[in-house]
Amino acid sequence: MFFSYSSFSLVLKYRKFRLLIYSYSQEYLGSLGREQLIAIIVESTAHGNGSLQYIKDTMAVTEDTNSLPADQERPSWCKCSGPCATMLSSIENKCCKKTVCIAKDPQFKIIGLNKTHLEMHIRSWADMRAENLDFSFSKLRWAAYSGYILWQFGKLGKGNRKVVPSCIVNTVRMRYPSDAYTGFRES
Ligand SMILES: [Zn+2]
Ligand SMILES: [Zn+2]
């Protein structure tokens, strides 16, 4: 696998662009009143610029990541406010260790959860490796985890696999679920 610098810088430029748009939107939307916000949302969903389901999904994730389900006890190794839970293998029992869970970081919501962003990530990798496009939930989860690693460490570190924290894994699984999950694979 060869990850050329030009493609990489293109991905970074795209990511910066997305983050810029995101912080601009946040600032602008934050300045509006409730009625203006409702009017904008209704208008943009009616014109296909966004979907009501997407808004519902985003709200669901925000609520989901606020706390663990009542029947699930927080593992002793978890120090964050996210949905850390006991994983299949002990190596995966890792927490982001941030008081406000990193899964709630606005940048992660783009890098790890935004479908358009994840599809771009998949597109750029498929293009470099001449693979067929696959936008299945399992591929979207792969894009979210590798995006998280790139965001946090600046590289994927082949041969020295990094463990994605449990809170991140569970947040991604809630958004893009699967019936069966495989544990961490040693490279
Ligand atoms: Zn945690
Ligand atoms: Zn966390």
Higher pLDDT, 51 or 80: 80
Residue 186 has pLDDT above 50, yes or no: no
Instruction: Using alpha carbons only, give the angle 101, 106, 52 rounded to the nearest 5 degrees.
Output: 115
**Range from 47-56, 85-94, 99-108, 156-165 carrying the lowest mean pLDDT:** 47-56
Q: Collect all residues with Cβ–Cβ distance below 8 Å to 49 and sequence separation of at least 6.
A: none
- The ligand whose atoms approach the alpha carbon of 102 most closely is 2
Show me where the domains of the chain are located.
51-175
- The ligand whose atoms approach the alpha carbon of 74 most closely is 1
- The ligand whose atoms approach the alpha carbon of 75 most closely is 1
- The ligand whose atoms approach the alpha carbon of 100 most closely is 2
The CA 106 to ligand 2 mean position distance, Å, reads 13
The CA 181 to ligand 2 mean position distance, Å, reads 20
Neighbours of 187 (CB within 10 A): 8
**Range from 53-57, 133-137, 172-176, 177-181 carrying the lowest mean pLDDT:** 53-57
- The ligand whose atoms approach the alpha carbon of 94 most closely is 1
Neighbours of 103 (CB within 10 A): 29
The CA 80 to ligand 2 mean position distance, Å, reads 5
Determine if the pTM surpasses 0.85.
no
The token pair at 124 is 């750029």
Give the mean model confidence (pLDDT) for residues 171-177: 96
Neighbours of 164 (CB within 10 A): 21
Is 184 in a helix, a strand, or coil?
Answer: coil
